[in-house]
Amino acid sequence: MTYGPKTIAGEMVHALKYRGKNESFVDAMTRVADALKDNEFHFYTFKDILLDQRFLPAGRVQAAMGSPRKVTPYNCFVSGTIEDSMNDIMDKAKEAAETMRLGGGIGYDFSDLRPNGDLIRSLDSRSSGPVSFMGIYDSVCKTVASAGHRRGAQMAVLRVDHPDIEEFVEAKTNNYNLTNFNISVGVTDKFMDAVQREATFDLVFNGRTHKTIDAKALWNKILRATWDYAEPGILFIDRINKKNNLWYCETIAATNPCGEQPLPPYGACLLGSFNLVKYLTRSSNSYGTELTCSFNYDQLRHDIPHVVRSMDNVVDRAIYPLPQQEEEAKNKRRMGLGITGVANALEAMGLEYGTEPFLEELENILSVIRDCAYTASVELALEKGPFPLFDVKMLESEFTKTLPSAIRENIRKYGIRNSHLLSIAPTGTISLTADNVSSGIEPVYTHKMSRKIGTPDGKIDVVIKDYAYSEWGVKGKTADDLSVLDHVKVLNLASKYVDSACSKTCNVGADVTWEEFKDVYMRAYLGGASGCTTFRAAGKRFGIFTPLAEEEGIDNIPEALPDNFVNETDEGTACYFDPSTGQRSCE
């Protein structure tokens, strides 16, 4: 049996990013399974899951675990709290450089830095504000990349009540400023209430009101920048903290660069996704005519405990850029298990993206993953002990209140091994290595596209087909074909079943009005999402993917790997958002 990517594009990308020199796909998956095993039975079971690509560990895990190279299996981190002093600003920039050097993306909260023009009494001078200091971190990221290390990724967050919020919102309303940053506004419930009531809102720092503004006017300014430039994103920061299982021992102010992992200072995200197309059972009659396509829930329930056990082992066997990150990870043992291939799998079952039958099936799948993952983590706690900072107060979080009563009671009695287990990440690259299954919970981007792929001799153009279209002739609805409200419905549903957050881009068609666009964000807030990001193709940024008509040829796809192809890994990719396309990747 042949394992691994079947398309040349999938094979090239997997070999370049996740394997060592002369390492095959089977070699690489054997290496990962061996590095994460508890015993021989676990090794063979997890290896089978990996070889079949039923579970896709984040590229960082695939590249790092069992490898002789000094790289971290963690995708992304959040910086320690940046204190309002030049020494601490520079110390955190140094820590960021070390984190990116070992392959991690990083998020920051700049809300503790005094606003532009504020008096610095010790120097008898004025502060230049958080946006100016972001330039330091932007340069650090650029320098790390230019020194021959992997591409960096950063997320900057500023609270909506910071006096410099308007400057922050406008910081990327161009195509050249802070190009190594994604930016998001930390929106509070108090602000959203003021927007809904069309009331005023105070911008404050250290308890002093600097300015009183019209809340709806600021909301419109934020959304107008997003309408044109796809940034800033929105984080509903109070909801994130109320939902947080560790509300009793941490406060979250920032996320990883793609937003699916709200993390405390020095927090790290450990990601992986169940590939739903591999759980389809396709039935046919005696003449070979296909009749039905159903979802194999039994196989999914079988796989989840082995995956949870393996990913939990990453925590203890990982290399960390900083000792603070290691301490944070081992005290809480976070992971973020998600899904990919959603659109392909469910549309192959005849369920149109965003419709009620689609949402019902997605809810069934997510509830199985939630319940099995939490049950597996409780069982691991019985075997290996709960995470060190476990407290029954965990059961008071908004998320754990949604768990079945039997699971809640078991957590109360026995504890749980992992503080967080569920997250839905954008999976652009690992989905491509699984023969271009639809990414995460996103709809199909296009049925066929031209994309540049890097090789040892530079970038080449290849044509990549959507998995369901290529394998089964299923033409799912594309991102631009859907109503933007279909995107929001999927986001809101998925958000209910993760204990961290979902990364989803709500594509906005050219026919969507300004008022309809603003409604997207309000619906996301009222529907329970932890945040929202949109991409409007008619905005002021341009895409790098070129959709192709069905009749266009695919002559430029190589028939095999180039003769001089050497699969020396570039160590995967960090969490990354390409604002020119709206496409996200967190590998």
d(CA 482, CA 475): 13
Q: How buried is 11 (Cβ within 10 angstroms: 0-12 exposed, 13-18 middle, 19+ buried)?
A: buried
CB 441 within 8 A of CB 472: no
Of 256, 410, 418, 492, catalytic: 256
d(CA 353, CA 363): 13
Q: Which of 74, 94, 200 is nearest to 137 (CA)?
A: 94
Give the helix ranges, DSSP H, for 210-354.
Answer: 215-229, 237-243, 297-317, 323-332, 342-348
The full length of the chain comes to 587
Annotated active-site residue 256? The verdict is yes
Annotated active-site residue 586? The verdict is no
CB 270 within 8 A of CB 60: no
Place of tokens 């008898």: 124
Query: What are the residues whose beta carbons fall under 8 Å from the beta carbon of 287, sequence distance 6 or more?
Result: none
Of 11, 95, 260, 347, catalytic: 260
Q: Which residues pair with 254 in a beta bridge?
A: 263
Give the helix ranges, DSSP H, for 129-214.
Answer: 130-146, 165-170, 189-197
Give the helix ranges, DSSP H, for 340-355.
Answer: 342-348
What are the tokens at 544? 């790098």
| 381-414 burial code (b ≥16 CB/10 A, e <16) | beeeebbebbeeebeebebbeebeeebbebbeee
Of 76, 141, 258, 575, catalytic: 258
Q: How many CB atoms lie within 10 A of CB 564?
A: 8
d(CA 370, CA 358): 18
Annotated active-site residue 260? The verdict is yes
Query: What are the residues whose beta carbons fall under 8 Å from the beta carbon of 299, sequence distance 6 or more?
Result: 54, 279
| Phi, psi of 523, rounded to the nearest 5 degrees | -65, -40
Residues acting as catalytic residues: 256, 258, 260
